[in-house]
Structure 1
Amino acid sequence: MLTKWMHYFEIYERELTRFRARPITFLEVGIFKGGSIPMWKSYFCEGSTLVFIDIDPNCAAHSDPGTHVEIGNQADPAFLKALAQKYGPFDVVLDDGSHVCSHQIATLEGLWPHMRDQSLYMVEDCHTSYWPGFGGGYRNEASFIEFAKRKIDAMHSWYTDQDELFPFDPIAKELAGVRFYDSIVAFEKSVTVEPPMSIAAQNGKFNGSRKALQLRGRTSVFKGKDGT
């Protein structure tokens, strides 16, 4: 049996289509009745490594030829490490597990180091971040949604102008985008060694600069011209 919110399929098309052209390594957290196993098997390219995990030992019965089912706790760092050593690195991870905020955070933090360059990590059913019974609640700092919002800040820490209040976060070297949908958050991993560069073009010549990242006390060039 498969249960999904109808609007998720449009999000899958938008986020996952680019992963269908070649064999990938895919991991889904949460099996429940096993309905998504044949769905993802038919969706991704033949030859893909498809891994599914659940804490319920009964879910082992849902294994399908060409797929792998592992039983373990998604919030257990040791289990996640062993899983990554056996099957990783991953191209796509989809967390449809317990939906408990602390578990969602622990799973992302445990698996993020084992994601490939140009990979995607998606967390479903993030509306539980607004349910106290799942460790959430509106504007609760412990919720997964608030955790994801903070990652937006971290992604932009290249540009900090308040070093003590807002220091550089190394995840900025890996986090290319955080996209919020109704009940889904997608994190795109793109490993970069160099900081962002601005380019200027004049008379057919291009020059690159990172000067803006070192400046402090910046003000708008339009100050005084736009009513401020």
Structure 2
Amino acid sequence: MGCLFIHGFGGAPYELEPLYSIIKERTDWELRLPILPGHDKNESLDGREYMEWVSKAEKELEDLTFSCDTIYVIGYSMGGVIASYLSTKYNVSKLVLLSTSAHYIDVTQLAEDTWKMAKDAARGDLLENDLFQRYIRRMGSTPISASLEFQKLVDDLRPYFEKVDAPTLVLQGGEDGLLPPKSAEYIYESIQSEDKTLHFLPRSKHMLCYGPDKDDLMNTCCDFLKI
């Protein structure tokens, strides 16, 4: 068994780390959680083209095919768009889409929303504040050229949702101010697989793995992956 995790635009692997950790704890699967080009803390997104992000994820998936007969792909936000696209090219047994961007997200609003979440978390000691500080710095310094590449990625890869035939779990935060419910509903309706589930996390915003419904998220994903 193998599982590829793909993080979002302007983010990094920490966006999926809680889900990655629980799957690692419960299985002996080969797990991949790469950093997409330009997203490392010492790199810049300036001048990057979206196919660099797609190609990196595809290379990781190709590597998994050499050692694993069964492969699952989990994508968050932009990573969900890439994951859906790759599932139409490779034999992906199951697909998990978290806060997936079938429509554009407002990166400025994302930074503002994340800051509010950080303050709430700091008051309750639920999350490490430096995680959010790093996220805010990255989103606040995102070059316009990279944002345009993100938009191109969504435009060019959106049609592939209609070609997805792998069993798919779609998860969306009920309080996600960046992606309206119609985004998740559009993905769910577009996917061709008869084995598909749309699950809303009513209290969660965009960063599902750190939201108030994270236990529900983990349980739903683990049930879907049968672990």
Global fold match (TM > 0.5): no
The structure carrying a bigger helix percent of its residues is 2
The structure carrying a bigger strand percent of its residues is 1
Highest relative contact order (Cα 8 Å, sep 6+), 1 or 2? 2
Give the TM-score taking structure 2 as reference length: 0.36
Who wins on radius of gyration, i.e. which is larger? 1
Give the TM-score taking structure 1 as reference length: 0.36
